[in-house]
């Protein structure tokens, strides 16, 4: 069983709308949790990184939250744009270089 | 900086052939990672180096896979012999500290 579960698997929203992606993990203990954005045909790009003691981190229209007690994280995208269409990958690190990857959520933003 | 550079971007080969993927990390980065990504398994860490030394290769699927880093600006991932199930996108990433990793554009490998 994957130690990092993401939901939904895919999501379609209209441009301008908000959305929230979920990441549940069983990895424990962990040092940090990251969200990556991966455009089609490109490598992942880091959006946010949070340690277990942080519970929110923003990067422009992207806001990640973390509840270490319930082992849940979410990535909220505000006022979506067509360029937000991508896969979003949650990565939980046991230590700095032992990482567990979620399968990703495929987001499509339509005009 | 040009970012992490990978070559080739696409590789099509026949089963049994040797495949060599190349990576040039961002200058000054001490860590280099090799990943494989497939639809079925998502992203998987294969191996990573610190200061050109392999630290953890537990993700390397089998002996057919090998990776080297002869100097701070170059690494290779070799598959010999290649098999159809090796078809995937292979990413190289680098970082200065164990924090945010910078990924290259990937090499799409197809083994026929």
Q: Test A42 with B106 for CB contact under 8 angstroms.
A: yes
Q: What is the pLDDT of chain B when averaged over all its residues? A: 93
Chain B residues closer than 8 Å to A44 by CB? 43, 91, 103
pLDDT given at position B98: 63
pLDDT given at position A57: 94
pLDDT given at position A87: 96
Q: Which two tokens stand for residue A32?
A: 């940090």
Q: Test A45 with B4 for CB contact under 8 angstroms.
A: no
Among residues A9, A1, A3, the alpha carbon closest in space to that of A87 is found at A9
Q: Cα–Cα distance between B70 and B54 in angstroms, integer?
A: 11
Q: Cα–Cα distance between B64 and B14 in angstroms, integer?
A: 15
- Dump pLDDT digits (tens) for A51-109: 888 999 999 999 999 998 899 999 999 999 999 999 999 999 887 567 889 999 999 99
* A-B C-beta contacts closer than 8 Å: 41
In chain A, which residue's Cα lies nearest the Cα of B99?
A96
Among residues B86, B72, B91, the alpha carbon closest in space to that of B21 is found at B91
Nearest to B104 among A34, A43, A101 (CB): A43
Among residues A106, A66, A77, the alpha carbon closest in space to that of A89 is found at A106
- Residues A90, A25: contact at Cβ < 8 Å? yes
A3 contact partners, CB below 8 Å, separation of at least 6: A25, A26, A27, A92, A100
In chain B, which residue's Cα lies nearest the Cα of A37?
B103
pLDDT given at position A9: 95
User: Is the pLDDT reported for residue B40 higher than 90?
Assistant: no
A56 contact partners, CB below 8 Å, separation of at least 6: A50, A63, A64, A65, A66
Chain B residues closer than 8 Å to A4 by CB? none
Q: Is the dihedral of CA A58, A61, B2, B55 positive or negative?
A: positive
């Amino acid at each position: 069983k994957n130690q990092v579960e993401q939901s939904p698997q895919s999501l379609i929203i209209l441009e301008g709308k908000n959305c929230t992606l979920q990441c549940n993990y069983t990895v424990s203990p962990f040092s940090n949790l990251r969200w990556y954005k991966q455009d089609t045909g490109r490598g992942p790009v880091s959006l946010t990184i949070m340690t277990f003691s942080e519970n929110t981190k923003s990067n422009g229209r992207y806001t990640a939250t973390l509840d270490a007690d319930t082992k849940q994280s979410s990535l909220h995208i505000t006022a979506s744009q067509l360029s937000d269409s991508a896969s979003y990958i949650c990565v939980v690190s046991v230590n700095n270089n032992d990482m567990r990857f979620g399968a990703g959520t495929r987001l499509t933003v339509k005009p | 900086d040009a970012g992490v550079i990978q070559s080739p971007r696409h590789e099509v080969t026949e089963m049994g052939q040797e495949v060599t993927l190349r990576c040039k990390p961002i200058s000054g980065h001490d860590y280099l990672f090799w990943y494989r990504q497939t639809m079925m398994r998502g992203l998987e860490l294969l191996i990573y180096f610190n200061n050109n030394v392999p630290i953890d290769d537990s993700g390397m699927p089998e002996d057919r896979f090998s990776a080297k880093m002869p100097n701070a600006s170059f690494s290779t991932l070799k598959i010999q012999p290649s098999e159809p199930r090796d078809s995937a996108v292979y990413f190289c990433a680098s970082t200065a500290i164990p924090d945010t990793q910078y990924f290259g554009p990937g090499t799409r490998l197809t083994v026929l």
